[in-house]
Chains A and B, each alone.
Chain A
Amino acid sequence: DAGVIQSPRHEVTEMGQEVTLRCKPISGHDYLFWYRQTMMRGLELLIYFNNNVPIDDSGMPEDRFSAKMPNASFSTLKIQPSEPRDSAVYFCASSQARIGDYGYTFGSGTRLTVV
């Protein structure tokens, strides 16, 4: 398995534009997580899915953020409109139902810069 795949690796956009981040989890993993990492706030859990259904989106900063998981192999995190304070590294992670010995597997992240 190629691991958790995120795209793009880097994204630079202008304030007000729509940004879409993409994630392909590991096949067979039932859970998918979106995290945001900044120097000020560290790792923040934004939302997670179980079997493609959003379970907890309490970490989503505001209505400008939305996430979908249309099928077991794909998820998107969308920011519309984007703002400079959204600049961060966004990670996707996936896990089996029982995380056990393997924990979460993280993707390499998308570095978002909003100018």
Chain B
Amino acid sequence: GEDVEQSLFLSVREGDSSVINCTYTDSSSTYLYWYKQEPGAGLQLLTYIFSNMDMKQDQRLTVLLNKKDKHLSLRIADTQTGDSAIYFCAETLMTTDSWGKLQFGAGTQVVVTP
């Protein structure tokens, strides 16, 4: 995941908004994903955005995509203690026409404090 960069840690108070940032490398990436990993569990797909969009909203989640800067962000509104987890950004590497290999970032540990 060295080519996808994320900050390693974010602390946020319950009720505030969280913003997790990611920079990616492949300008031809078609899909960009956010995964959530809770303690002791696997990675769960949280949301995604298609490259022809610059914003996607899904309930408390807002994804912003800046293709020029290759910057992706995930905003969590009204952050709850259940949002404490590691969040991974992933880009599709379009090595062939038929599928895309995912490149993951190192993950951002989000800690929500009361």
Interface size on B, residues (CB 8 A): 21
- If A91-B43, A106-B44 touch, whether A97 touches B104 (CB-CB below 8 Å) is no
Interface residue SS majority, chain B: strand
Q: Hey, what's the 0/1 contact readout for A82-115 against B, CB within 8 Å counting as 1?
A: 0000000001010101111111111111000000
Least Cβ–Cβ distance between A23 and chain B, in angstroms? 11
Please tell me if the beta carbons of B88 and A43 are within 8 angstroms of each other in the complex. yes
Please tell me if the beta carbons of B43 and A99 are within 8 angstroms of each other in the complex. no
Bound CA span A33–B69, Å? 30
Please tell me if the beta carbons of B1 and A43 are within 8 angstroms of each other in the complex. yes
Interchain Cβ contacts within 8 Å, total number: 49
* B98 adjacent to chain A (CB < 8 Å): yes
* B33 adjacent to chain A (CB < 8 Å): yes
Interface residue SS majority, chain A: mixed
Q: Which residue of chain A is the closest to B95 with respect to CB atoms? A: A56
Please tell me if the beta carbons of A99 and B42 are within 8 angstroms of each other in the complex. no
Please tell me if the beta carbons of B42 and A103 are within 8 angstroms of each other in the complex. no
Q: Which residue of chain A is the closest to B46 with respect to CB atoms? A: A103
Q: Contact size class for A? A: 20 to 34
Contact of A100 among B31, B43, B88 (CB under 8 A): B31
- Which residues of chain B in 75-114 are interfacial with respect to chain A, using CB atoms and an 8 Å cutoff? 88, 90, 92, 98-102, 104, 106-107
Q: Which residues of A contact B41 (CB under 8 A)?
A: 108-109
Least Cβ–Cβ distance between A71 and chain B, in angstroms? 21
* B53 adjacent to chain A (CB < 8 Å): no
A and B contact pairs by CB, cutoff 8 A, 11 listed: A4-B42, A42-B107, A43-B88, A43-B107, A99-B92, A101-B48, A103-B33, A103-B102, A106-B35, A106-B43, A107-B42
Complex A-B, nearest 7 residue pairs according to Cβ-Cβ distance, in ascending order: A106-B42, A106-B43, A42-B106, A108-B42, A103-B33, A103-B45, A43-B104
